[in-house]
Structure 1
Amino acid sequence: MEVPEDAKPVLRRLLEFNAYEFSVLDGRDLGPHGEYGYRYLDHYWDERERRVPLFFEVKGHVAGFTLLRMGPPHAVAEFLVLPKYRRHGVGQAAARQVFTRWPGDWTTHQVAGNDRAVAFWRSAIPVLFEESADSSGTSQRFRT
């Protein structure tokens, strides 16, 4: 479901959790106010034609989120499935619903060292894809 603006505080907290998990990989530290922050959050409501924030739900509970940048190509900017819902098909189902809802050219990118994310996207992308890797990480390009 698209995240309504009044749910922005919930998304902000989920982004903090996401940044906390990623800090192991990217070495990021907390800012002076005890938060990692996400400088693009407001853009998801200010630029609705170019950015889409979505929650994933399971039985009425938020199970994760994704932030999309609409292209071409469309891009998955952020993607998180909460630990309780991982390995139950929630992420794969959510990703495939996104690709179906917004067909076209897509790109995903996983930061270097995030092998679980690389494996996830390899299984979640429902079509053949091109993959490349460099020092910044691994990317997939595909068309739905």
Structure 2
Amino acid sequence: MTTANPAKASLFGLHALDERLAVIAGLARAGKNLTPSEVRQLRRALFEDEGVSHEEAGALFELDRAQNASCLEWTEFFVECLTDHFVWQARPTGVLTHEQAEFLLTEADRKFSLAGFALLANVLADADRAPQWFLDAVRSRARAPAVQAALAATA
């Protein structure tokens, strides 16, 4: 027996749950910096159910790459949401697999963002186990001039 996903008032209007990916991708294509209010809507929509899918995680990276101005609410949401997806929703819980680590680094390296670096660092902090090469790669990125400049600008 199959049931249709009910429509819910969330994510910038009334959308069926299976439309979340399209909404996130549409926001990324629009290239608009999200406001704190829009981030709160996105947070409610994605956390009201079981979290995000792998495809939605990829779309959130696209949305991060579209952000040109720093928004603390966006960074907090992005880091929390994707850490939850990769560390706590995936099985085995608390373990970052080789494939997940590759995905995270590939996506984060497509365009530097402080939110992307913060995600890598937070995943390392939360995960019980991660590949050693991932730890080394994140440490190497921490020493990069772009990261150092971005961190200095936030201090």
Identify the TM-score tier after normalising by the shorter chain: 0.3 to 0.5
Flag the structure with higher helix content: 2
More RCO (CA 8 Å, sep 6+): 2
TM normalised by structure 1 equals 0.36
TM normalised by structure 2 equals 0.35
Flag the structure with higher strand content: 1
